[in-house]
Amino acid sequence: MVEIQSGIGTAIPPAETEDMELYHPKSWWTKYVFSQDAKIIAIQYSLTAIAIGLVALVLSWLMRLQLAFPGAFTFIDAERYYQFITMHGMIMVIYLLTALFLGGFGNYLIPLMIGARDMVFPYANMLSYWVYLLAVLVLAASFFAPGGPTGAGWTLYPPQAVLSGTPGGQDWGIILMLSSLILFIIGFTMGGLNYVVTVLQARTRGMTLMRMPLTIWGIFTATVMALLAFPALFVAAVMMLFDRVLGTSFFMPALVEMGTLLPHQGGSPLLFQHLFWFFGHPEVYIVALPAFGIVSDLISTHARKNIFGYRMMVWAIVIIGGLSFIVWAHHMYVSGMNPAFGFFFATTTLIIAVPTAIKVYNWVLTLWRGDIHLTLPMLFALAFIVTFVNGGLTGLFLGNVVVDVPLSDTMFVVAHFHMVMGIAPIMVIFGAIYHWYPKITGRMLNETMGQIHFWITFLGAYAIFFPMHYLGLMGVPRRYHEMGETIFNPPSAHMLNIFITVMALVVGAAQIVFLFNLAWSLRKGKPAGGNPWRATTLEWQTPQTPPVHGNWGKELPVVYRWAYDYSVPGAAEDFIPQNQPAPDRLSRGALA
């Protein structure tokens, strides 16, 4: 390992790495369970994330059933409902999306796409997974704890989160939730260090930053952001644990709960919100940037065309990452903070729309004059663009401070963030799984099942969340266990709720097809070969499929070109792998 790393900085390192200091598994246990191989860790991360994500999916069904048929399911009382929404939100945002994009795709793709043998700190990488698993188990344990999980909403706003009027507030729920978050952050930091330093130090010869696929750019930038943003959640969680367990007053003002004056004094609930959103907003982009990166590669590969405006795409990723640290208070326009902040945060928030829009234009311009293969990854990429554009545009409503006033805390917000950071990134996850499954397993996923899965998921999800915006516009607040009778809502609004619930059940059920496909194709899928999509990036050029331990055999690949040499004029094939030497080095312009 050391030779590879020290070699990167020097001008022309030796391509052969003899006596690699790679860790070598000695038994079945160290090969598949306590593995230090990033590819195995990636699969462990992914399967754990998907497993806990299925719990969140079932919770969403239960919530939707309650909203459409209030009272019909007696076991979903108000307490349970709030526990369901809280766990659904937290699992989806942190334990599924963050873990799957960075722990799953990051671990699998970073070493392969940059031509490394493994992550640079394999032991810490392994620990990262096991701490993550522990965090998931602690979270899951709260379902069985006395009082059940916390029902404070995924934002965990104090004082409500630690009081008895909220499920789990005075029981174990909130303590387990905060502990689990602290564990997650510790685990993530170990993994995140790996992803960042591997990209910095372990790129193979010729892999300059501007030759990296956008997938790596997205994951790399998101990881840097996550490393810097998660400490805010860590601090907030530690302080709230102090308030809850030790009785301090960081976030707890003097308050009278059910007629009793509590011993707290002077704390600031807004302080928590600032800390939470200082993490929370970058978190949106921690999920979005890997999706941006991956979808760029999916579109380029399956449209057989280079990604349009690669440089602009890279700059946009970096600019979005930086800007996302100065927009956090747009979640707090109606929180009671100094209203003058609204001018600043509305402006920064809407500025982000420009680089984001450029990315969207470049995706669709990549399709323009392409050779579009409507494969499953491409279909999911198209679905991503539709849902992301839709959700991104409604973000312009909520980011524009005064427009947010009537819409905040309504179903409009729920619809917006599900579309933009729920459905859109999950479309990318599905596309990515259909794209890379052949590399991971050596077999293609079944096309028919994939088509069924795609159409139901895409159209169903759109049918769920598009009309939901209008519920919010009518004034239906979010986090209502039942709307009940209102003066201002037409009775037909409830029809909309029933429709949304039916669609949610259908879309959820379609995921069974997907899971079945994953298992079925493992044995019965069509053999894929090494490079079924005829893609240029390095992971498709491994000597074996699936790649073996060490990835590259005796010699590391050498990179001669960028990741997007599709349909190059004059070339025999419509793709040129990154590690294919140029027949004539100077054929297409100066080197400098």
Partner 1 sequence: MSVILIFMAGIAVIITWWMAQQRLTSKPWLEVGRAGDVPDGSSSAPATEKIGLYVFLAVVGALFSLLISAYFMRMDTADWWSVPIPNLLWVNTAALAASSVALHWTKAETRENRGEATRVALLAALATAVLFLIGQVLAWRELAAAGYLLTNNPANSFFYMITGLHGLHIIGGLAVLSRTTWKAWNGAEPSGLRLSVELCAIYWHFMLLVWLILFALFAGWANDFIDICRQLLT
Partner 2 sequence: MAVVVVLVVLAVGSVLFHFFSPWWWTPIASNWGYIDDTIIITFWITGVVFVAVVLFMAYCVLRFRHRAGNRAAYEPENRKLEWWLATVTAIGVAAMLAPGLFVWNRFITVPDHATDVEVVGQQWLWSFRLPGSNGKLGTAATGSIAADNALGLNKNDPNSLDDIIIEGGELHLPVGKPVKVLLRSVDVLHNFYVPEFRAKMDMVPGMETYFWFTPTRTGTFEILCAELCGVGHPQMRGTVVVEEEADYQAWLQEQPTFSQLMASGEDVQTAEN
Which of the residues 81 through 100 are near partner 2 (CB under 8 A)?
82
Q: Tokens 């493992």 correspond to what residue? A: 522
Q: What's the CA gap between 79 and 419, in Å, rounded?
A: 26
Which does residue 480 touch among partner 1, partner 2, none (CB within 5 to 8 A, set by kind)? partner 2
Q: Residues of 91-114 as b/e, b for ≥16 C-beta within 10 angstroms?
A: bbbbbbbbbbbbbbbbbbbbbbbb
Q: What's the CA gap between 61 and 509, in Å, rounded?
A: 10
Cβ-contact 513, 445 below 8 angstroms? no
Taking CB under 8 A as the binding criterion, the range among 10-18, 48-56, 449-457, 527-535 that sits at the site for partner 1 is: 10-18
| The only residue of 3, 8, 304, 309 in contact with partner 1, by rule CB under 8 A | 8
* Interface positions, 568-587, toward partner 2 (CB under 8 A): 568-569, 574
Q: Is 278 in the site for partner 2 (CB under 8 A)?
A: no
Per-residue binding letters, 315-354, with partner 1 (x by CB under 8 A): x--x---x--xx----------------------------
Report the first-to-last Cα separation within the chain, whole angstroms. 31
* Interface positions, 495-554, toward partner 2 (CB under 8 A): 496
Which does residue 581 touch among partner 1, partner 2, none (CB within 5 to 8 A, set by kind)? partner 1
Q: Nearest 5°: CA angle at 133, between 131 and 138? A: 95
Q: How far is the CB of 218 from partner 2 (least distance, A)?
A: 19
Q: Which is nearer to partner 2, 182 or 271 (CB)?
A: 271
Which does residue 350 touch among partner 1, partner 2, none (CB within 5 to 8 A, set by kind)? partner 2
* Interface positions, 164-203, toward partner 2 (CB under 8 A): 165-167, 169
Q: What's the CA gap between 165 and 147, in Å, rounded?
A: 12
Q: Which is nearer to partner 1, 326 or 360 (CB)?
A: 326
Q: How far is the CB of 314 from partner 2 (least distance, A)?
A: 11
| The only residue of 33, 78, 210, 354 in contact with partner 1, by rule CB under 8 A | 210
Q: Which is nearer to partner 1, 48 or 125 (CB)?
A: 125
Q: How far is the CB of 60 from partner 2 (least distance, A)?
A: 17
Taking CB under 8 A as the binding criterion, the range among 147-155, 194-202, 424-432, 506-514 that sits at the site for partner 1 is: 194-202
Q: Is 361 in the site for partner 2 (CB under 8 A)?
A: yes
Q: What's the CA gap between 125 and 107, in Å, rounded?
A: 9
Q: Quick one: CA dihedral 537, 538, 541, 545, positive or negative? A: negative
* Interface positions, 15-34, toward partner 2 (CB under 8 A): none
Residues 6+ apart with CB under 8 A from 262: 252, 254, 255, 256
* Interface positions, 505-564, toward partner 1 (CB under 8 A): 558-562, 564
Q: What's the CA gap between 116 and 198, in Å, rounded?
A: 8
Residues 6+ apart with CB under 8 A from 393: none
Q: How far is the CB of 320 from partner 2 (least distance, A)?
A: 14
Q: How far is the CB of 544 from partner 1 (least distance, A)?
A: 25
* Interface positions, 104-143, toward partner 1 (CB under 8 A): 120-121
* Interface positions, 265-284, toward partner 1 (CB under 8 A): 265-268, 271, 274-275, 278
Q: What's the CA gap between 284 and 419, in Å, rounded?
A: 12
Q: Is 193 in the site for partner 1 (CB under 8 A)?
A: yes
Give Cα separations from 36 to 132, 173, 550 (angstroms).
15, 33, 11
Three-state SS annotation for 251-315: CCCCCEECCEECCCCCCCHHHHHHHHHHHHHHHHHHHHHHHHHHHHHHHHHHCCCCCCCHHHHHH
Q: Is 318 in the site for partner 2 (CB under 8 A)?
A: no
Tally the C-alpha atoms within 13 A of residue 246's C-alpha that lie toward its C-beta: 9
Q: Tokens 């037909």 correspond to what residue? A: 492
Q: Is 261 in the site for partner 1 (CB under 8 A)?
A: no
* Interface positions, 320-349, toward partner 2 (CB under 8 A): 334-336, 339-340, 342-343, 346-347
Q: Is 232 in the site for partner 1 (CB under 8 A)?
A: yes
Q: What's the CA gap between 89 and 177, in Å, rounded?
A: 12
Q: Tokens 């992550």 correspond to what residue? A: 119
| The only residue of 244, 281, 305, 561 in contact with partner 2, by rule CB under 8 A | 305
Number of residues located near partner 2, criterion CB under 8 A:
114
Q: How far is the CB of 248 from partner 2 (least distance, A)?
A: 15
Q: How far is the CB of 354 from partner 2 (least distance, A)?
A: 5
Q: What's the CA gap between 195 and 193, in Å, rounded?
A: 6
Q: How far is the CB of 511 from partner 2 (least distance, A)?
A: 20
Q: How far is the CB of 205 from partner 1 (least distance, A)?
A: 7
Cβ-contact 350, 302 below 8 angstroms? no
Q: How far is the CB of 77 from partner 2 (least distance, A)?
A: 8
Give Cα separations from 262 to 158, 165, 175 (angstroms).
14, 14, 19
How deeply is 214 buried, as exposed, middle or buried, from its count of CB atoms within 10 A (0-12, 13-18, 19+)? Answer: buried
| The only residue of 48, 150, 194, 408 in contact with partner 2, by rule CB under 8 A | 408
Which does residue 274 touch among partner 1, partner 2, none (CB within 5 to 8 A, set by kind)? partner 1
User: Could you give the 3-state DSSP secondary structure of residue 51?
Assistant: helix
Token pair of 13, please? Answer: 């390192």
Taking CB under 8 A as the binding criterion, the range among 102-110, 124-132, 232-240, 297-305 that sits at the site for partner 2 is: 297-305
Which does residue 30 touch among partner 1, partner 2, none (CB within 5 to 8 A, set by kind)? none
Which amino acid is located at 176 in the chain? L
Q: Quick one: CA dihedral 156, 162, 163, 165, positive or negative? A: positive
Q: How far is the CB of 422 from partner 2 (least distance, A)?
A: 18
* Interface positions, 429-488, toward partner 2 (CB under 8 A): 459, 462, 466-467, 470-471, 473-475, 477, 479-484, 486-488
